[in-house]
Amino acid sequence: MFTTPQGRPIDPTNLTPTFAALLCKAGLRRIRFHDLRHSTATLLLEQGVELVVIKELLGHAHVRLRLQRQAIDTLRTVLGSPENTETARSDGDEPPPCAARVR
């Protein structure tokens, strides 16, 4: 969930114009913010992540945190992001450590 700097939910009427401006600045075509969920699901499917794990990440099913973590690590690799060593070392079902607060 994304929040305002005060910790309140972002009003979709404010999110849409901000997201559109970011897309324009990055030279990307205009899409709906919700389309990011579809892109995530597609990328994970193409990498062989099981459908039930993808459904869990999108809030439609329930699977072990270890499987969710593996899927997120796969997505991180596909997108070329640096690996979070704490997540990579963990093999249990405890939530991953939070490095920064998302606003």
List the chain pLDDT tens, one digit each, 103 residues: 677 888 888 887 888 888 899 999 999 999 998 899 889 999 999 999 998 888 888 887 777 788 888 888 988 898 887 655 444 445 555 544 444 333 3
Domain tally for the chain? 2
Task: Specify the pTM.
Answer: 0.51
Contacts of 70 (CB under 8 A, 6+ apart): 49, 53
pLDDT confidence of residue 100: 38
Both structure tokens of 62: 């329930």
Residues 40 and 24 in one domain: no
SS3 assignment, position 3: strand
Identify residue 73 by its one-letter amino acid code.
Answer: D
Contacts of 67 (CB under 8 A, 6+ apart): 50, 53, 56
Residues 44 and 70 in one domain: yes
Domain that holds residue 54: 34-103
Residues 55 and 94 in one domain: yes
Residues 79 and 47 in one domain: yes
Query: From CA 38, how far away is CA 71, in angstroms rounded?
Result: 15
Residues 47 and 73 in one domain: yes
Residues 74 and 58 in one domain: yes
Identify residue 46 by its one-letter amino acid code.
Answer: E
Both structure tokens of 57: 């990440």
Residues 66 and 93 in one domain: yes
